[in-house]
């Protein structure tokens, strides 16, 4: 399998953003040096998803190291970078770091609504939709799906959505991950 390279603005399979393999790039005359910044970066998408859906009032975000793919929480960034790398590399190498903001639970709420819409048994769907509404909706939703035995379906659905959101967020910033 070839190295995958990001190509902005080209439609790909199933409506996903366009990607080409390194072999295709070579055929098109793109050299390794020209495409280096477009190569895939090994990133823990679970960690990126966790940062993105965190409460912005409680989490200040994180930094993604564009050389290693490491995600470093904002709160520990100054101490960890200073001790590991000497001076603050954000100032010395600003292109190395990508800030990942905490965007809140909107994506999670949208996932819950979409999950509820997939439930075929109308009384159950209505109960789940009611649970989502208003303050405390996330907790009521989780309580209900555990009580009704829908937790494994929800976790599978939710995990796929979280990872897709993280991958799309990074792709929008021209960071393609495997």
The pLDDT tens digits of the residues spanning 89-129 come to 666 676 788 889 988 888 999 999 999 999 999 999 999 99
Q: Would you place residue 55 in the very low, low, confident or very high pLDDT band (cuts 50, 70, 90)?
A: confident
Query: Please, are residues 40 and 4 in contact by the beta-carbon 8 Å criterion?
Result: yes
CA-based end-to-end distance of the chain? 12
Give the domain ranges of the chain.
4-38, 45-103, 106-166
CA gap 114, 118 in Å, rounded: 6
Q: pLDDT band for position 17 (50/70/90)?
A: very low
- What is the average pLDDT across 126-136? 94
DSSP state of 105: S
Average pLDDT, the chain: 76
Residue with the larger pLDDT of the pair 90 and 66: 66
Q: How confident is the model at residue 173 (pLDDT cuts 50, 70, 90)?
A: confident
Q: Are 168 and 160 in contact (CB under 8 A)?
A: no
Entry pTM: 0.66
Cα separation values, 55 from 45, 102, 108, 115, 134, Å: 18, 6, 12, 22, 17
Helix axes 137-147, 122-132, angle to 10 degrees: 150
Q: Are 51 and 61 in contact (CB under 8 A)?
A: yes
Q: Is the pLDDT of residue 84 over 80?
A: no
């Amino acid at each position: 399998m070839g190295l995958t390279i990001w190509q902005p603005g080209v439609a790909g399979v199933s409506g996903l953003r366009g990607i080409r393999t390194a072999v295709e790039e070579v055929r098109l005359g793109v050299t390794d040096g020209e495409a280096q910044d477009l190569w895939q970066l090994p990133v823990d998408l679970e960690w990126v998803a966790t940062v993105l859906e965190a409460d912005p009032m409680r989490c200040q975000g994180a930094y993604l190291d564009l050389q290693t793919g490491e995600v470093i929480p904002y709160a520990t960034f100054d101490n960890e970078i200073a001790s590991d790398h000497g001076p603050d590399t954000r100032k010395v190498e600003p292109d190395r770091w990508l800030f990942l903001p905490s965007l809140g639970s909107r994506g999670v709420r949208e996932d819950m609504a979409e999950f509820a819409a997939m439930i075929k048994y109308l009384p159950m769907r209505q109960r789940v939709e009611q649970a989502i509404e208003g303050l405390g909706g996330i907790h009521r939703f989780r309580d209900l799906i555990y009580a009704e035995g829908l937790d494994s379906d929800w976790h599978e659905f939710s995990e796929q959505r979280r990872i897709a959101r993280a991958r799309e967020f990074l792709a929008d910033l021209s960071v393609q991950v495997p």
